[in-house]
Amino acid sequence: MPELPDILLYLHALAPRVVDHRIERIRLASPFLLRSIDPPLSAVEGKTVVALNRLGKRIVFELEGELFLVLHLMIAGRLRWKEREAKIPGKVGLLAFDFSHGTLVLTEAGTKRQASLHVVAGLEALQQHDPGGINVLEAGFLAFATALRQDNHTLKRALTDPHLFSGIGNAYSDEILHAARLSPFKQTASLTDEELRRLYEATNNTLTRWITLLQEEAGEEFPEKVTAFREGMAVHGRYGLPCPDCGGPVQRIVYAANEANYCPHCQTGGRLLADRALSRLLREDWPRTLEELERRRRG
């Protein structure tokens, strides 16, 4: 799912292409995308885009007359900038915004249709789409600490909770926790003041680094490959590969539809983490360290 650096990358590329330009026509290829009926989608045609904003992981097109398009890309939704009146791809195409100088196309890979679009009138109605998480790049340390300690959860869950933090998901939470040298399953209530400060700095540094890197790489081009798996990431998507800091193999825990990637040496004192179901299945047979895991593999 596109997260804060990826959403800001899209806004960076969209701004010079759509702001102060009029939407001549909207072509809806998948009716399942549209999740609102009032105002109708047709109300957008002929309107000028006056600004672009972000609500969590949602992209907001602000149109004249306090009309808003709220787009949530979910896991597989992606934006493409094409020539004017470009054809919507048959299997993956969902929507096209036609401007006088080009067309913005929305696609979604896979069979599930999870991306959503809402047409919203007025600022009050727009706020209903805001999950409410703080922007850690704008909030200070006190606000970060207050949000994190609001309830007692694992760090992985807390960082990816959109009601606590805005725009952080599975990929960048892995990177943040690796940079902070903290276990993804450490409880928020157990953090020391030093660990809390370290996590705050790692969150800001990691997000800022990737925002800058992605926008510099794209330059003036429209991003064609927005993905959760980036070359240069330390642990996310790197299961079995060497940690860039210690050289040990990156491990992962798969749970529900998500996964946590981590380095045992850097983050858990060498201890292997196990999801609850696997731990119950293996019980005493679950290897506790990388060394024990390697011995079992050799055996």
Digit-by-digit pLDDT tens for the chain (299 residues) are: 899 999 999 999 999 999 999 999 999 999 999 999 999 999 999 999 999 999 999 999 999 999 999 999 999 999 999 999 999 999 999 999 999 999 999 999 988 889 999 999 999 999 999 999 999 999 999 999 999 999 999 999 999 999 999 999 999 999 999 999 999 999 999 999 999 999 999 999 999 999 999 999 999 999 998 988 899 999 999 999 999 999 999 999 887 667 899 999 999 999 988 755 444 434 444 455 555 545 544 54
Pairwise CA distance, residues 147 & 163, whole Å: 9
Domains assigned to the chain: 4-127 (3.20.190.10), 141-298 (1.10.8.50)
10 touches 218 (CB < 8 A): no
Residues near 172 by beta carbon (within 8 Å), at least 6 away in sequence = 3, 4, 5, 206, 207, 210, 236
Pairwise CA distance, residues 89 & 105, whole Å: 9
Pairwise CA distance, residues 207 & 74, whole Å: 19
* DSSP letters spanning 55-68: ETTEEEEEETTTEE
Pairwise CA distance, residues 63 & 21, whole Å: 10
In total, the chain counts a number of residues equal to: 299
Pairwise CA distance, residues 232 & 171, whole Å: 12
- What pLDDT does residue 254 have? 83
Pairwise CA distance, residues 172 & 180, whole Å: 12
Beta strands in the chain (DSSP E): 25-28, 49-55, 58-63, 67-72, 77-82, 93-99, 102-108, 116-121, 251-255, 258-262
pTM: 0.90
* DSSP letters spanning 206-223: HHHHHHHHHHHHHTTSPP
- What pLDDT does residue 291 have? 54
